[in-house]
Structure 1
Amino acid sequence: MIRLLGVFLIFILNNVKGFSPSLNDDVLGLIVFKADLKDPEGKLVSWNEDDDSPCNWFGVKCNPRSNRASDLVLDGLNLSGKLGRGLLQLHFLEKLSLAKNNISGNLTLRLDQLSNLRTLDLSENSLVGEIPYEFFQQCGSLRSISLAKNKFSGEIPQSIGSCSSLVSLNFTYNQFSGMLPSGIWHFSGLRLLDLSNNLLEGEIPEEMEELHNLRWINLGKNRFTGEIPDGIGSCVLLRSIDLSSNSFSGSLPSTMQTLSLCNNLILSRNAFAFEVADWIGELSSLENLDISGNNISGALPASIGNLRSLKVLNISKNALGGSLPDSMRDCINLMSIDISQNSLTGILPAWLFRLSLQKVVFSENKFSGGLDSAILSATENSRQKCLVLDISQNSLTGGIPSALVYFTSLHVMNLSKNSLVGNIPYSVGELKSLNVLDLGENQLNGSIPTEIGGAVSLQELRLDNNLLSGSIPTSIGNYSLLTSLYLSHNNLSGSIPVAVAKLTNLQHVDLSFNKLMGSLPKQLGNLGHLISFNISHNLLQGELPGSNFFNTISTSSVSGNPSLCGALVNRDCHTVLPKPIVLNPESTEAKPGTMPQSSGHERKIFSISAIIAIGAAAMIFVGVIAVTVLNLSVRSSMSPSAAGVTFSGGEYYSRSPSSDANSGKLVMFSGDPDFSTGAHALLNKDCELGRGGFGAVYHTVLKDGHAVAIKKLTVSSLIKSQDEFERELKNLGKVRHPNLVALEGYYWTPSLQLLIFEFVSGGNLYTHLHEGSGESYISWNERFNTILGTARGLTHLHQMNIIHYNIKSSNILIDSSGSPKISDYGLARLLPTLDRYVLSSKIQSALGYMAPEFTCKTVKITEKCDVYGFGVLVLETVTGKKPVEYMEDDVVVLCDIVRGALEEGRVEECVDVRMQGKFPLEELTPMMKLGLICTSQVPSNRPDMAEVVKILELIRSPEGGQDDLVLV
Structure 2
Amino acid sequence: MLHEAVLLLLFAAALVRSLDPVFNDDVLGLIVFKAGLKDPKGKLVTWNEDDDSPCDWVGVKCDPRTNRVSELALDGFSLSGHIDRGLLRLQFLRNLSLSKNNFTGTINPDLARLGRLQVVDLSENELSGSIPEGLFQQCGSLRAVSFARNNLTGTIPESLSSCSTLGLVNFSSNQLSGKLPTGMWFPRRLQSLDLSDNLLEGGVPEGIGKLYDLRAINLSKNRLSGKLPWDIGRCFILKLVDFSENFLSGSLPESMQRLGKCAFMSLRGNSFSGEVPEWFGELRRLETLDLSANTFSGRVPISIGNLQLLKNLNLSMNQFTGSFPESMKNCINLMAMDVSYNQLAGNLPSWIFKLSVQSFPSFGNRGSGNLQYSSLASRAATYQGLRALDLSSNAFSGEIPAQIGVLSTLRFLNVSRNHLLGSIPARIGELKSLYVLDLSDNWLSGSIPSEIGEAVSLKDLRLQKNFLTGKIPTQVENCSSLTSLILSQNNLTGPIPAGIANLTDLQYVDLSSNELSGSLPKELTNLTHLVSFNVSHNHLQGELPVGGFFNTLSPSSVSGNPSLCGSIVNRSCPAVHPKPIVLNPNSSNSPTGSSSPNHHKIILSISALIAIGAAAFIALGVIAVTVMNIHVRSSMSHSAAPLTLTGGEDFSCSPTNDPNYGKLVMFSGDADFVTGAHALLNKDCELGRGGFGVVYRTVLRDGRSVAIKKLTISGLIKAQEDFESEVKKLGKIRHHNLVALEGYYWTPSLQLLIYEYISGGSLYKHLHDGPDGDCLSWRQRFNIVLGMAKGLAHLHRMKIIHYNLKSTNVLVDSSGEPKVGDFGLARLLPQLDHCVLSSKIQSALGYMAPEFACRTVKITEKCDVYGFGVLVLEVVTGKRPVEYMEDDVVVLCDMVREALEEGKVEDCVDGRLGHNFPAEEAIPVIKLGLICASQVPSNRPDMSEVVNILELIQCPSEGQEELE
TM, length-normalised to structure 2: 0.64
Are the aligned partners of 1:335 and 1:359 in contact in 2 as well (CA < 8 Å)?
yes
- Correspondent of 2:762 among 761, 769, 773: 769
Distance 1:679 1:182, change over 3 A: same
Are the aligned partners of 1:768 and 1:777 in contact in 2 as well (CA < 8 Å)?
no
Deviates more, 1:420-429 or 1:350-359: 350-359
Looking at structure 1, the residues matched to 310 and 792 of structure 2 have their Cα atoms a distance apart, in angstroms, of: 49
Aligned to 1:384: 384
Aligned to 2:417: 417
User: What letter is aligned with 1:55?
Assistant: C
User: Per-residue deviation at 1:678?
Assistant: 9.2
Looking at structure 1, the residues matched to 916 and 287 of structure 2 have their Cα atoms a distance apart, in angstroms, of: 35
Are the aligned partners of 1:391 and 1:414 in contact in 2 as well (CA < 8 Å)?
yes
User: Per-residue deviation at 1:660?
Assistant: 10
Aligned to 1:562: 562
Are the aligned partners of 2:536 and 2:558 in contact in 1 as well (CA < 8 Å)?
yes
Are the aligned partners of 1:469 and 1:490 in contact in 2 as well (CA < 8 Å)?
yes
Q: 1:161-184, CA deviations, whole angstroms, 9 ceiling, x for partnerless residues?
A: 443322111122233333333333
Aligned to 2:63: 63
Q: 1:614-657, CA deviations, whole angstroms, 9 ceiling, x for partnerless residues?
A: x9xx99xx99x989x98xx9xxxxxxxxxxxxxxxxxxxxxxxx
Report how many residues are paired: 702
Mapped pair 1:482 → 2:476: no
Aligned to 2:264: 264
User: Per-residue deviation at 1:319?
Assistant: 1.0
Aligned to 1:583: none
Distance 1:766 1:471, change over 3 A: farther
Q: 1:135-190, CA deviations, whole angstroms, 9 ceiling, x for partnerless residues?
A: 54432432111122233344334443443322111122233333333333322211
Aligned to 1:781: 774
Aligned to 1:537: 537
Are the aligned partners of 1:202 and 1:223 in contact in 2 as well (CA < 8 Å)?
yes
User: Per-residue deviation at 1:109?
Assistant: 5.2
Matches within 5 A, 1:595-614: none
Aligned to 1:408: 408
Matches within 5 A, 1:802-821: none
Matches within 5 A, 1:283-322: 283-322=283-322
Unaligned stretches of 5+ in structure 2?
A: 1-16, 580-598, 653-659, 686-695, 704-744, 746-755, 785-790, 794-810, 825-859, 866-873, 881-908, 919-964
Unaligned stretches of 5+ in structure 1?
A: 1-16, 580-586, 597-605, 634-658, 667-673, 717-751, 753-762, 788-807, 809-845, 849-870, 893-907, 925-968
Helix, strand or coil: the match of 2:213?
A: coil
User: What letter is aligned with 1:156?
Assistant: I
Aligned to 2:469: 469
Distance 1:21 1:292, change over 3 A: closer
User: What letter is aligned with 1:486?
Assistant: I
User: What letter is aligned with 1:168?
Assistant: L
Looking at structure 2, the residues matched to 546 and 132 of structure 1 have their Cα atoms a distance apart, in angstroms, of: 71
Mapped pair 1:117 → 2:117: yes
User: What letter is aligned with 1:209?
Assistant: G
Looking at structure 2, the residues matched to 246 and 686 of structure 1 have their Cα atoms a distance apart, in angstroms, of: 66
Looking at structure 2, the residues matched to 884 and 103 of structure 1 have their Cα atoms a distance apart, in angstroms, of: 48
Are the aligned partners of 2:760 and 2:813 in contact in 1 as well (CA < 8 Å)?
no
Are the aligned partners of 1:202 and 1:225 in contact in 2 as well (CA < 8 Å)?
yes
User: What letter is aligned with 2:309?
Assistant: S
Looking at structure 2, the residues matched to 780 and 687 of structure 1 have their Cα atoms a distance apart, in angstroms, of: 46
User: Per-residue deviation at 1:292?
Assistant: 1.4
Helix, strand or coil: the match of 1:363?
A: coil
User: Per-residue deviation at 1:574?
Assistant: 5.7
User: Per-residue deviation at 1:297?
Assistant: 0.7
Aligned to 2:891: none
Are the aligned partners of 2:268 and 2:291 in contact in 1 as well (CA < 8 Å)?
yes
User: What letter is aligned with 2:423?
Assistant: N
Aligned to 1:7: none
Aligned to 1:220: 220
Aligned to 1:444: 444
Distance 1:22 1:710, change over 3 A: closer
Mapped pair 1:172 → 2:172: yes
Aligned to 1:662: 637
Q: 1:184-222, CA deviations, whole angstroms, 9 ceiling, x for partnerless residues?
A: 332221111112223322221113223332111112222
Helix, strand or coil: the match of 2:383?
A: helix
Looking at structure 2, the residues matched to 216 and 489 of structure 1 have their Cα atoms a distance apart, in angstroms, of: 54
Mapped pair 1:876 → 2:816: yes
Mapped pair 1:457 → 2:457: yes
Aligned to 2:596: none
Matches within 5 A, 1:120-131: 120-131=120-131
Looking at structure 1, the residues matched to 46 and 368 of structure 2 have their Cα atoms a distance apart, in angstroms, of: 72
- Correspondent of 2:911 among 899, 911, 917: 917
Deviates more, 1:216-225 or 1:530-539: 530-539
User: What letter is aligned with 1:30?
Assistant: L
Matches within 5 A, 1:834-853: none
Aligned to 2:324: 324
Deviates more, 1:767-776 or 1:396-405: 767-776
Are the aligned partners of 1:73 and 1:97 in contact in 2 as well (CA < 8 Å)?
yes
Matches within 5 A, 1:515-664: 515-573=515-573, 575=575, 662=637
Are the aligned partners of 1:698 and 1:711 in contact in 2 as well (CA < 8 Å)?
no
Q: 1:99-148, CA deviations, whole angstroms, 9 ceiling, x for partnerless residues?
A: 22333344345332333221111222333444444454432432111122
* Percent of aligned pairs sharing the same letter: 47
Distance 1:153 1:710, change over 3 A: closer
Looking at structure 1, the residues matched to 523 and 558 of structure 2 have their Cα atoms a distance apart, in angstroms, of: 17
Aligned to 2:209: 209
Distance 1:395 1:23, change over 3 A: closer
Distance 1:697 1:27, change over 3 A: same
Matches within 5 A, 1:879-958: 916-919=910-913
User: What letter is aligned with 1:342?
Assistant: N
Q: 1:674-731, CA deviations, whole angstroms, 9 ceiling, x for partnerless residues?
A: 99899956549999999996556899868xx995788474889xxxxxxxxxxxxxxx
Distance 1:71 1:888, change over 3 A: farther
Helix, strand or coil: the match of 1:248?
A: strand
Aligned to 1:865: none
Looking at structure 1, the residues matched to 423 and 459 of structure 2 have their Cα atoms a distance apart, in angstroms, of: 22
Looking at structure 1, the residues matched to 265 and 431 of structure 2 have their Cα atoms a distance apart, in angstroms, of: 36
User: Per-residue deviation at 1:776?
Assistant: 4.1
Looking at structure 2, the residues matched to 120 and 19 of structure 1 have their Cα atoms a distance apart, in angstroms, of: 29
User: Per-residue deviation at 1:18?
Assistant: 9.9
Are the aligned partners of 1:69 and 1:92 in contact in 2 as well (CA < 8 Å)?
yes
Helix, strand or coil: the match of 1:427?
A: helix
Looking at structure 2, the residues matched to 675 and 475 of structure 1 have their Cα atoms a distance apart, in angstroms, of: 58
Helix, strand or coil: the match of 2:231?
A: helix
Are the aligned partners of 1:92 and 1:116 in contact in 2 as well (CA < 8 Å)?
yes
User: Per-residue deviation at 1:76?
Assistant: 2.2
Matches within 5 A, 1:66-215: 66-108=66-108, 110-215=110-215
Looking at structure 1, the residues matched to 665 and 231 of structure 2 have their Cα atoms a distance apart, in angstroms, of: 66
User: Per-residue deviation at 1:532?
Assistant: 2.5
Instruction: Output the aligned Cα RMSD.
Output: 5.0
Helix, strand or coil: the match of 1:77?
A: coil
Aligned to 2:234: 234
Distance 1:688 1:105, change over 3 A: farther
Distance 1:450 1:592, change over 3 A: farther
User: What letter is aligned with 1:662?
Assistant: S
Helix, strand or coil: the match of 1:321?
A: strand
Distance 1:909 1:677, change over 3 A: closer
Are the aligned partners of 2:469 and 2:490 in contact in 1 as well (CA < 8 Å)?
yes
User: What letter is aligned with 2:111?
Assistant: L
Q: 1:743-791, CA deviations, whole angstroms, 9 ceiling, x for partnerless residues?
A: xxxxxxxxx9xxxxxxxxxx9766842466975466552779xx9xxxx
Aligned to 2:342: 342
Are the aligned partners of 1:168 and 1:190 in contact in 2 as well (CA < 8 Å)?
yes
Looking at structure 1, the residues matched to 363 and 25 of structure 2 have their Cα atoms a distance apart, in angstroms, of: 67
Mapped pair 1:52 → 2:52: yes
Helix, strand or coil: the match of 2:549?
A: helix
Q: 1:434-456, CA deviations, whole angstroms, 9 ceiling, x for partnerless residues?
A: 22211111111111111111111
User: Per-residue deviation at 1:327?
Assistant: 2.0
TM, length-normalised to structure 1: 0.64
Q: 1:882-934, CA deviations, whole angstroms, 9 ceiling, x for partnerless residues?
A: 69999979x99xxxxxxxxxxxxxxx99897888331478899xxxxxxxxxx
Are the aligned partners of 1:348 and 1:368 in contact in 2 as well (CA < 8 Å)?
yes
Looking at structure 2, the residues matched to 257 and 310 of structure 1 have their Cα atoms a distance apart, in angstroms, of: 16
